[in-house]
Amino acid sequence: MKIKNNVMIFLFAGLVMMFSVSGNAQASSKEKEPTGVLKYAKPAADWMTEALPIGNGRIGGMIFGGINEEHIQFNENSLWTGDEKDTGEYQDFGDLFITFSNEESAVPVDYQRKLDLNQALHQTAFTLDGIKYSREYFCSHPDQVIALQFKASGRGAISATLKLNDAHGEKIIGEGNSLHFSGKLNNGMQYAAQITVKTKGGKVGIVSGDQGDQLQVESADELLVLLDAATDFIQDRSKNWKGEDPQLRIKRELTAAGTKSYQELKKRHITDYTALFDRVALTLGETDQYQQSMPMDKRLETYQPTQDPGLEALMFQYGRYLLISSSREGGLPANLQGLWNDSNHPAWRGDYHSNINVEMNYWPAEPANLSECHVPFLDYVVSTKDVRKEQTSEHYSGVRGWTYQTENNIFGGASYTWNPPASAWYALHFWEHYAFTRDSFYLKETAYPLLKELCWFWEDHLKEREDGTLVSPDGWSPEQGPIEEGVTYDQEIIYDLFTNYIEASEILNVDADYRARITDMRNRLLKPKIGRWGQLQEWEKDVDDPNNKHRHVSHLFALHPGRQISPLNTPELAEAARVSLTARGDKATGWSMAWKMNFWARLLDGNHAYTILSNFMHLAKGHDTDYSEGGGVYSNLLCAHPPFQVDGNLGYVAGVAEMLLQSQTDALQLLPALPNAWPNGSVKGLCTRGGFVVDMDWIAGNLRIVRIKSNAGCPLKIVYKDKVVEYKLAKGDEIKLDADLKK
């Protein structure tokens, strides 16, 4: 009866919401709906497509927003099986179920479920039997807990049973006002989780059962639940990846959080989060208020290109929200699903996939003003490189340096195909972190030594032909084609590594002799070729199939994220890249469409980039893996490969940024790929190489004003349409220019 009652409740609630929204839209059309909010008219029924994510970079949860029963599935991003040899899998941690003692036959009124990106708050509200219920959740970085607050307008109206579940089957133990569990994975990793409750009014007791203990809350006015989870993993191989007992950490963090009021916890959370999120603001045009007020699933179903620029801007900020929520300094990087995972056997292990996916996760970090969120990935590479050196040495006898395989875990363990240029691609992130921040100490102490080590790998691994040409001997174009010499994907990434090393050496004024050696090697690399049908060749031989629609377009790396090919500097190669990209088609998996947005932006074709963006807004509904045209987003806006992968969300952010501002050449290109669909708009806080922060707005497709702040004192060259200007700014200086790039 419960399922049937809930179905009837939601059907009735949906009708109420439909008439309510329609009436309000007509009666109060002047009232602005808040932007930056994902809204829904019913609870989530499915983890992947409907539940909403919260996270603090280490722990996170997927929220269902149920009425009679709330469900929070939670994760901690270091819970992995495997080790340095066995890749293992990223694991589900557990679930929290809160079942309320409400009258199931009562019909809820005014149900709404929201994710407020502006404050990183999940909110649910409804009225039941005349009592207004409100529930608010967040995942705090400063206090390292998930906080869940339940309130009601009637005194003593909150009675509930709280059930904690361990995804690995350990028994739940109750003590006082807490539930906890702990266990050990088959690789020896210790883990633990605990909830602690605080009430205003009412009482709390423990109820024992066959499945372990539960907490019973009776007649409370308010209920606060604090949740924490941890493992004993630390990013330190010298300590065998083992840190303190997770139970000690949890007890310490929950005790500290428990001394603070909910409002204090919330204030600390919002202050911490907005310090990152508020750096960038984006407006791409006006969306009709009725459309903006729709529940997100309906808004996606009715999405039409050019008609909902508000949703297109919201998707940009949602990606930034996801990166902040899954990647914070001091922790692990975002994996294939960020940190959200409800399976102990997730798709592709929930791993760090080295042939595009983990790199794409971090494309937006620097341009979208989240440089600190880039650090976990850089730290991960440093922490695992010694493991990779050993395994690389075993696989490639006599080769210095190190690289990765395609599937990788938190210990440096790896499996599946060796991906020789993976470490060189990772090195691009080290260079980009410097290029955007201009942190000379970081370049000298961290980035430069790593770039040099990886040059050693290719110095030892490249094959020299009789004519002096250098080729990668075992190239592979992910995830297709034969393994052979001189594959374009390999050659372009090696070129990029050598270029970045040379520039780093020049900036630091070190290793002139070795710089000359690498410069000579770069000059002798096999370069990209143009094939028989005008395409950029994917393989050395001209065998590309113009009917190939494969999701990977890896041979265009030199266009993006590399900088070897551009319409300004290498127009013939750029045109060949355009031919290849056109042949591959506009529809693909979610992450592939995100990469194509970036490609078209780099080709300065904003309208085609916008076509891909519009395709990305496709409402996907399937769970099964689809490599053809199943990509898009689910109703919770998570990217559908399908299944869910967070890289598409993050690649989308990078794509929009590339459409508005580019700096991979020696200049800042303003509005280089602005589509006709965004004639009026503004952006605040985008970052560029050289340490600049840019605000600008445009009207009727033309730049109106640009403000540029220099954080590093680098020379400033600006390109807008046919105008080119140069200015000298000291560190901290700001400049305001008009459409003619004049002060």
Q: Contact, 164 vs 148, CB < 8 A?
A: no
Q: Could you tell me the two tokens for 147?
A: 């906080």
In sequence order, what E strands does 306-393 have? 352-353
What lies within 8 Å, CB to CB, of 712 at 6+ separation is 437, 438, 690, 691, 692, 731
Tell me the average pLDDT of the chain: 94
Confidence of residue 100 (pLDDT cuts 50, 70, 90): very high
The C-alpha angle with vertex 167 and arms to 166 and 172, in degrees rounded to 5, equals 15
Pick the CATH number of 350-658 from 2.60.120.200, 1.50.10.10, 3.40.50.720, 3.30.230.10: 1.50.10.10
Tell me if 2-278 shares its fold with 350-658: no
Q: What is the mean pLDDT of residues 689-697?
A: 98
Q: Contact, 44 vs 63, CB < 8 A?
A: yes
Confidence of residue 618 (pLDDT cuts 50, 70, 90): very high
Q: Evaluate if residue 713 carries a pLDDT over 70.
A: yes
Residue 508 sits at φ, ψ, to 5 deg, of -85, -10
- pTM equals 0.95
Q: Is 578 helix (H, G, I), strand (E, B) or coil?
A: helix
Cα R_g (the chain), whole angstroms: 26
Q: Could you tell me the two tokens for 22?
A: 């329609």
What lies within 8 Å, CB to CB, of 634 at 6+ separation is 48, 49, 50, 619, 620, 621, 640, 644
Model confidence pLDDT, tens digit, residues 119-166: 999 999 999 999 999 999 999 999 999 999 999 999 999 999 999 999
Q: Evaluate if residue 192 carries a pLDDT over 70.
A: yes
Encoded amino acid at 664, one letter: Q
Q: Evaluate if residue 17 carries a pLDDT over 60.
A: no
Q: Is 482 helix (H, G, I), strand (E, B) or coil?
A: strand
Q: What is the mean pLDDT of residues 255-278?
A: 98
pLDDT value of residue 314: 98
Give the C-alpha separation, 729 to 519, whole Å: 31
pLDDT value of residue 210: 80
Q: Evaluate if residue 406 carries a pLDDT over 90.
A: yes
Give the C-alpha separation, 317 to 461, whole Å: 42
pLDDT value of residue 641: 92
Q: Could you tell me the two tokens for 362?
A: 């971090």
How many Cα atoms are found within 13 Å in the side-chain-facing hemisphere of 243?
Answer: 13
What lies within 8 Å, CB to CB, of 397 at 6+ separation is none
Q: Contact, 693 vs 420, CB < 8 A?
A: no
Q: Could you tell me the two tokens for 68?
A: 């009679």
Q: Could you tell me the two tokens for 26?
A: 């007509």
Q: Evaluate if residue 722 carries a pLDDT over 70.
A: yes
pLDDT value of residue 34: 67
Pick the CATH number of 2-278 from 2.60.40.10, 2.70.98.50, 3.40.50.1370, 2.40.420.20: 2.70.98.50
pLDDT value of residue 359: 98
Q: Could you tell me the two tokens for 59?
A: 């722990």
DSSP annotation of 446 reads I
Secondary structure tally for the chain: helices H, strands E: 17, 34
Strand order in the sheet with 692-699: 281-283, 681-688, 692-699, 702-710, 734-738
Q: Evaluate if residue 180 carries a pLDDT over 50.
A: yes
Residue count of the chain, please give it.
743
What does the H/E/C string look like for 519-570?
HHHHHHECCCCECCCCCECCCCCCCCCCCCCCCCCHHHCCCCCCCCCCCCCC
What DSSP line would sit under 373-412, residue for residue? HHHHHHHHHHHHHHHHHHHHHHHSTT--S--EEEEE-TTS
Encoded amino acid at 172, one letter: I
Model confidence pLDDT, tens digit, residues 415-471: 999 999 999 999 999 999 999 999 999 999 999 999 999 999 999 999 999 999 999
Q: Contact, 327 vs 377, CB < 8 A?
A: yes
Tokens 């010694």, residue?
Answer: 386
User: Is the omega angle on the peptide bond into residue 34 within 30 degrees of 0, that is, cis?
Assistant: no
Q: Could you tell me the two tokens for 504?
A: 């780093």
DSSP annotation of 37 reads E
Give the C-alpha separation, 402 to 357, whole Å: 20
Q: Evaluate if residue 374 carries a pLDDT over 60.
A: yes
Give the C-alpha separation, 316 to 540, whole Å: 37
Q: Evaluate if residue 116 carries a pLDDT over 50.
A: yes
Tokens 């970085």, residue?
Answer: 141
Q: Could you tell me the two tokens for 738?
A: 């008009």
pLDDT value of residue 33: 57
Alpha helices in 396-487 (DSSP H): 422-437, 440-442, 448-461
Give the C-alpha separation, 658 to 671, whole Å: 9
Q: What is the mean pLDDT of residues 358-368?
A: 98
Boundaries of every domain in the chain: 2-278, 350-658
Q: Is 348 helix (H, G, I), strand (E, B) or coil?
A: helix
Tokens 């995942």, residue?
Answer: 139
Helical packing angle, 422-437 and 488-508, nearest 10°:
40
Q: Evaluate if residue 105 carries a pLDDT over 70.
A: no
Give the C-alpha separation, 80 to 186, whole Å: 10
Q: Contact, 147 vs 121, CB < 8 A?
A: no
260: alpha, beta or left? (left if phi > 0; alpha if psi -120 to 50): beta
Confidence of residue 31 (pLDDT cuts 50, 70, 90): very low
pLDDT value of residue 624: 80
pLDDT value of residue 622: 76
Percentage of the chain with pLDDT > 70?
A: 95
pLDDT value of residue 14: 39
